[in-house]
Amino acid sequence: MNKIIKVSLKALVLSVILVMLLSGTALANGSADGMEVSPNVINLDSNGGSFSIHTNIPYSTVMAVSLLAVLADSDIVTIPIYGTFADDRGDLVVKCIIGEVKELISEGNIIFELTVSTSISGEPTTYDDTVRVISCGK
């Protein structure tokens, strides 16, 4: 009987740990704040790469999307959006061309502000995420 209790207790502990890890992953992926910019560090001197914003906003409700970057010197620039689509959970993903993004930003901490109008609220809602921008060789 004690062996069954020990095995059950171990299974319970492992289940709790798994749930905590998965919950932490969801929060790290921006679902708690509405959006997450990927990559979280942009190297202005690197070649290639991609630029995406992942959200927890149901894509089927999206009516309009716009993206701004607040630069380290407080200048604000509009970031061109290449396209939008639903991820495998049905949430909005915004894609931009990394080269165009790099041309508009500078080193420092950049705040990307995504404004989304949905059929649910009807009003625009703004989400943000801060990304570090660096320059360090190719």
Q: Tell me: the pLDDT tens digits for 85-126?
A: 999 999 999 999 999 999 999 999 999 999 999 998 888 999
Query: How many domains would you assign to the chain?
Result: 2
Same domain, 42 and 106: yes
Contact 94, 86 (CB under 8 A): no
pTM for the whole thing?
Answer: 0.74
Count other C-beta atoms under 10 Å from residue 42's C-beta: 20
Q: Which domain holds residue 13?
A: 1-32
Cα separation, 83 vs 14, in Å, equals 41
Write the CB contacts of 16 (distance below 8 Å, at least 6 apart in sequence). Answer: none
| pLDDT tens digits, one per residue of 43-94 | 999 988 899 999 999 999 999 999 999 998 999 999 999 999 999 999 999 9
Whether residue 89 sits in one domain with residue 121:
yes
Q: Which residues contact residue 70 at a Cβ distance below 8 angstroms, ignoring those fewer than 6 apart?
A: 76, 110, 111, 112, 113
